[in-house]
Chains A and B, each alone.
Chain A
């Protein structure tokens, strides 16, 4: 990556020397439960900490509640019980007015991509930067570089409906990481790309992780998990998080880093 991208040079450096580290918990769940309407709880008694700079894979069978847990992480939902701390602040009952500031620190790769259909790939990727108040001049370089990184430099002006599923997924990933979020939440980010592109995207995630971005990836892709040796595994079953070693509830002090 060239130096246009905010921190692009640092990513390049991080890819080369593998530096970066863990400081403290960026996410803290205490007895968190979630139910939709009056139904049964889809998430129960979630107690865990995600270390700042950590790399986590979230796995579990379909219907286990992975997407619901991710929605709590990227502030699309609020818990029906328990407390959630994000970036050191309790956001369980936080005012709506403060949520945008937190959301701007989180990058999200949605399972269904959620691209704006009438915008070009360029404008979709540029959206987080524009929302953060960057000028067109400040947006141009980073967005071009991210599109090049995900192999879509020549499709910058293409609207999502003209892109394949894999291309749309790469645009969604570029949008999620272009603002170098402190926390990246990805729901099946490699589900629609070939193995080469999956490896390339994982490389991008690990590079971001080495710069200090905490990564949470929900996936069924065992290959993805095994090729990221430093990552922690979170297994969700029937709305409950398995933590047999207690490492998620009380993370060890040493840095946790992928790769």
Chain B
């Protein structure tokens, strides 16, 4: 008998007759692979989106002033520009602030005696000391607040991260369910070929030789099912994901799935097949160990 892991001679394959698609295994694995790929693609897209959002606000800060009158904004901008490590300073125009405030207090509600707060966007260089910068600005403008922009998007990033882990957990659960289906299919095959196994054992076949017959059969079933499931998932991602891709390009300036993600997704059918094969081998060896 051939000593290789997957390969089997023609004579070996005759020992377990019945080609692929004879049992439920390829269909179950096709469905599992389809779901796993969709969920994995969503998880990867979420991870990318979180990365884009996070890096966009990584070195950005806001200086809030409660009162923009008496040249406070101009002074604060001048101080900020003089601080070492500050690469950009942009004050939100007062007119824009007024328009924003009018949404809450109504048109005409902002009289001359009512102070209008100010917002100044500050961008720091990589490695700049944000705490020192904030302290310096707050010292120059007492009562001002120095806020990291990433703190404002933290709830969004947290949600994206949670969804990413949820997707990863679902992929792992689906892999576990696939393994369970393979174990059941293997046990069924072992029952069907019990007499053949007993005869082979009696003649001197090792557990490894017998396991190889089953793992080869399961591997073929799994590979066919996984490729079919992956193909359907790829079509679904192309159709459904096309619009999402355009939206992501507009909003975040990037595509939801990078080349490395696509390679990872393309590897999934092979990973599922390998998993099924290893699980089948382990299930067969475990069952055979109960023989005398």
A110 to B289 CA separation, bound complex (whole angstroms): 23
Q: Is the CB of B199 within 8 A of A103?
A: no
Which residue in A102, A104, A116 is a CB contact (below 8 Å) of B196?
Answer: A116
Q: Which of B111-119, B204-212, B256-264 contacts A (4 or more CB under 8 A)?
A: B204-212
Given the known inter-chain contacts A127-B203, A130-B11, A131-B1, please indicate yes or no for A114 contacting B292, CB distance below 8 A: no
A139 closest partner in B (C-beta): B11
Chain A min CB distance to B44 (Å): 44
B202: Cβ under 8 A from any A Cβ? yes
Which residues from chain B contact A133 at a C-beta distance below 8 Å? 1, 3
Given the known inter-chain contacts A114-B199, A114-B202, A118-B17, please indicate yes or no for A130 contacting B1, CB distance below 8 A: yes
Q: Is the CB of A123 within 8 A of B14?
A: yes
A256: Cβ under 8 A from any B Cβ? no
Q: Is the CB of A128 within 8 A of B204?
A: yes
A131 closest partner in B (C-beta): B205
Within 8 A of A (CB), among B168-220: 195-196, 198-207, 209
B4: Cβ under 8 A from any A Cβ? no
Which residue in A102, A104, A114, A128 is a CB contact (below 8 Å) of B198?
Answer: A114
A175 to B203 CA separation, bound complex (whole angstroms): 9
A104 to B196 CA separation, bound complex (whole angstroms): 16
B203 closest partner in A (C-beta): A128
Given the known inter-chain contacts A114-B198, A116-B199, A128-B203, please indicate yes or no for A76 contacting B14, CB distance below 8 A: no
Within 8 A of A (CB), among B1-47: 1, 3, 9, 11-12, 14-15, 17
A124 closest partner in B (C-beta): B199
Which residues from chain A contact B11 at a C-beta distance below 8 Å? 123, 126, 130, 136
Q: Is the CB of A136 within 8 A of B206?
A: no
Chain A min CB distance to B116 (Å): 85
Which residues from chain A contact B9 at a C-beta distance below 8 Å? 130, 136
Total interface residues in chain B, CB < 8 Å? 24
Which residues from chain B contact A78 at a C-beta distance below 8 Å? 292
A75 to B202 CA separation, bound complex (whole angstroms): 8
Given the known inter-chain contacts A116-B15, A136-B11, please indicate yes or no for A104 contacting B1, CB distance below 8 A: no
Which residues from chain A contact B12 at a C-beta distance below 8 Å? 130
A208: Cβ under 8 A from any B Cβ? no
Which residues from chain A contact B205 at a C-beta distance below 8 Å? 100, 131
Q: Chain A interface residue count: which class?
A: 20 to 34
A74: Cβ under 8 A from any B Cβ? yes
A178 to B15 CA separation, bound complex (whole angstroms): 19
Which residues from chain A contact B289 at a C-beta distance below 8 Å? 96
Q: Is the CB of B204 within 8 A of A74?
A: no
Which residues from chain A contact B204 at a C-beta distance below 8 Å? 100-104, 106, 128, 131-132
A57 to B141 CA separation, bound complex (whole angstroms): 111
Which residue in B3, B14, B199, B292 is a CB contact (below 8 Å) of A77?
Answer: B292
Which residue in A77, A103, A117 is a CB contact (below 8 Å) of B203?
Answer: A103
A108: Cβ under 8 A from any B Cβ? yes
Chain B min CB distance to A77 (Å): 6
Which residues from chain A contact B200 at a C-beta distance below 8 Å? 127, 131
A134 closest partner in B (C-beta): B1
Q: Is the CB of B14 within 8 A of A74?
A: no
Which residues from chain A contact B15 at a C-beta distance below 8 Å? 116, 119
Which residues from chain A contact B202 at a C-beta distance below 8 Å? 74, 76, 103, 108, 110, 114
B3 closest partner in A (C-beta): A133
A74 to B204 CA separation, bound complex (whole angstroms): 10
Within 8 A of B (CB), among A130-176: 130-133, 136, 175
* B248-292 to A contact mask, C-beta < 8 Å, 1/0: 000000000000000000000000000000000000000001011
A108 closest partner in B (C-beta): B202
Chain A min CB distance to B239 (Å): 45
Between-chain CB contacts (< 8 Å), 20 pairs: A75-B292, A76-B202, A96-B289, A96-B292, A100-B205, A103-B204, A104-B203, A104-B204, A115-B199, A116-B195, A119-B15, A123-B14, A126-B11, A127-B200, A128-B203, A131-B1, A131-B200, A131-B203, A132-B204, A133-B3
Q: For the A-B complex with A127-B200, A136-B11 known, give 8 more contacts whose Cβ atoms are closer than 8 Å.
A: A96-B207, A96-B289, A100-B201, A110-B202, A117-B195, A119-B14, A130-B12, A133-B1
